Amino acid sequence: MALARIQVPKEAKRGELVEVRIVIQHPMETGFRRDADGKRVARNAIHSLACRYNGAEVFRATLSTGIAANPFLRFFLRAGESGDLDFWWLDDDENEGTARARLVVA
């Protein structure tokens, strides 16, 4: 189950720089850990993440196993029209995750 928390300001002014924060629940397995039985735990990390704002891509990140579990990302974008922020990410197990937040521009 993909689970994420997105934080954007309740309301932004047009042209204002807006801080966007997202935390995603993900183990970010490095592939180097062993479980209780000594078996290697397969690598599984989110490797790609993107955010679209009103359909246009505004942010893209490449992640790898150096990032801690439950990754936290933060970036800024300039507020245009009111609209949805659509996050999408993909991990090594080919599991896709999505999350959406609404940015209201006054």
- Binding residue for other proteins (CB under 8 A) from 10, 34, 68, 81? 68
Of 5 and 78, CB closest to other proteins: 5
Q: Rounded distance, CA 77 to CA 72, Å?
A: 17
* Burial tier of 105 (Cβ tally within 10 Å: 0-12, 13-18, 19+): middle
Minimal distance in Å, beta carbon 7 to other proteins?
4
> Which window, 38-46, 65-73, 77-85, 93-101, contacts other proteins (CB under 8 A)?
65-73
Of 20 and 79, CB closest to other proteins: 20
* Burial tier of 13 (Cβ tally within 10 Å: 0-12, 13-18, 19+): exposed
By CB under 8 A, is residue 70 in contact with other proteins? yes
DSSP assignment of 50-65: EEEETTEEEEEEE--T
Residues of the shown chain interacting with other proteins in the complex, contacts defined by CB under 8 A: 1, 3-5, 7, 21, 23, 25, 27-28, 68-70, 72
